[in-house]
Amino acid sequence: MMEKRTMINFGGRTVEATEVGYKGIKEEWNEYQADDGTVLRLKVVVSEIYRLDEYDQDSKPIYVIKSSNVLSSSVPEHLKKGAARVQ
Amino acid sequence: MDKVQALKGTDIEKYEWLSPGDKNTNELLPASFQEIGKPGQVEVDTGSFVFNWSGTKKPLSPLIISKFFWQSEYEIANSADDKLEIFVAKSISQVPEVEYIIFSKIDNYYEIWTVINKLDREARDRIYDVEYNILERFRDNYFDFHVICRNDKSIEEICPTNAIIFYRRKA
């Protein structure tokens, strides 16, 4: 992908940035078991990466990532709506 | 085989907002960052005073410091709005020619029909690109994608049985 110059909103300011292409190296699900027995799986899916014309305290350019969360759940039958509740 | 999971009919209305240009803006960060102070220069009252010869007290010039007061909020995800189906619908609906997205789901097997009106090979290619991206990213799910042309028929005529209209582009 060709690098593309753009302006983005960063911390309330409009700053110059470069949209950079990328390829996924590793993109896995994070898995959590809730105490109620439900297994929750969360994945962050990156859609766009920007490099700002600004630098952090380590002199590295600041990157901004646009992403979505994808969350799936495996819920025990007894927690589903309409299931018989065991006291 | 398990029964096809029925998604609620109300989902159709619920996700109409996914139409590009509605809530899909290019704004970055403001939604996930909370401004707790005005960025830039912030006046700080030093509380210090000096007294002149007449005995009246005069405040020192307030100390001016530059500091950004930005604090990241927690990212909040929920299993109703951030489910895979919605991610898929959001992704595919970015192609402006897409009018409807129809889903059926059995466990982690998804069958997805993307509906455009007329045959448009360029639009189809863009839809295929999105589908390929989804396949790459969610390898542990099974997807069966279809792109169909409505050819001015009503959506009800072409909607498969056991599937629901998950996305409808706003007129």
Lookup result for tokens 């309409």: A82
pLDDT at residue number B75: 79
**Separation of alpha carbons A30 and A73, rounded Å:** 12
Is there a contact between B29 and A70 if contact means CB atoms under 8 Å apart?
no
What is the tens place of the pLDDT at every residue in B13-55? Answer: 334 433 333 333 333 323 333 333 333 333 333 344 444 444 4
pLDDT at residue number A86: 57
Whether A86 is in a domain gets the answer no
Whether B4 is in a domain gets the answer no
Number of domain units in chain A:
1
Whether A85 is in a domain gets the answer no
Specify whether the CB–CB gap between B102 and B160 falls below 8 A. Answer: yes
**Separation of alpha carbons B68 and B46, rounded Å:** 19
Give the domain range for residue B104: 10-28+77-168
B92-104 residues labelled b (16+ CB within 10 A) or e (exposed): bbbbebbbbbbbb
Q: Is B136 on the interface with A (CB under 8 A)?
A: yes
Residues of chain A in contact with residue B82, where contact means CB-CB under 8 angstroms, are: 68-71
Whether A55 is in a domain gets the answer yes
Amino acid in the structure at residue B159: C
pLDDT at residue number B43: 33
Tell whether B105 and B164 lie within a shared domain: yes
**Separation of alpha carbons A10 and B20, rounded Å:** 22
What is the tens place of the pLDDT at every residue in B56-105? Answer: 444 444 444 444 444 556 778 898 889 999 999 999 999 999 999 999 98
Tell whether B99 and B130 lie within a shared domain: yes
DSSP sequence for chain B: -PPPPPPPTHHHHHTGGGSBTTTB----STTTEEE-S-SSEEEE----EEE-TTS-EEEPPPEEEE---EEEPPP---TTTSSHHHHHHHHHTTSTT--EEEEEEETTEEEEEEEESS--HHHHHHHHHHHHHHHHH-TTSEEEEEEEE-TT--HHHHPPTT-EEEEE---
Q: How many angstroms separate the CA of residue B8 from the nearest CA in chain A?
A: 13
Residues of chain B in contact with residue A29, where contact means CB-CB under 8 angstroms, are: 140
Tell whether B83 and B63 lie within a shared domain: no
Is there a contact between A9 and B29 if contact means CB atoms under 8 Å apart?
yes
Give the domain range for residue A15: 4-79
Q: Each residue's pLDDT tens digit in chain A (87 positions)?
A: 678 899 998 888 999 999 999 988 988 999 999 999 999 999 999 999 999 999 999 999 999 999 999 999 999 999 999 887 655
Whether A36 is in a domain gets the answer yes
Tell whether B23 and B37 lie within a shared domain: no
- Pick B170 or B92 by higher pLDDT: B92
Tell whether B61 and B87 lie within a shared domain: no
Tell whether B100 and B66 lie within a shared domain: no
Is there a contact between B90 and A68 if contact means CB atoms under 8 Å apart?
yes
Asked if pLDDT for residue B114 goes beyond 70, the answer is yes
SS3 A79: helix
Interface TM-score (ipTM) > 0.90: no
Tell whether B92 and B14 lie within a shared domain: yes
Of B27, B70, B140, the CB nearest to A11: B70
Whether B44 is in a domain gets the answer yes
Tell whether B90 and B19 lie within a shared domain: yes
Q: Is A39 on the interface with B (CB under 8 A)?
A: no
Number of domain units in chain B:
2
pLDDT at residue number A31: 96
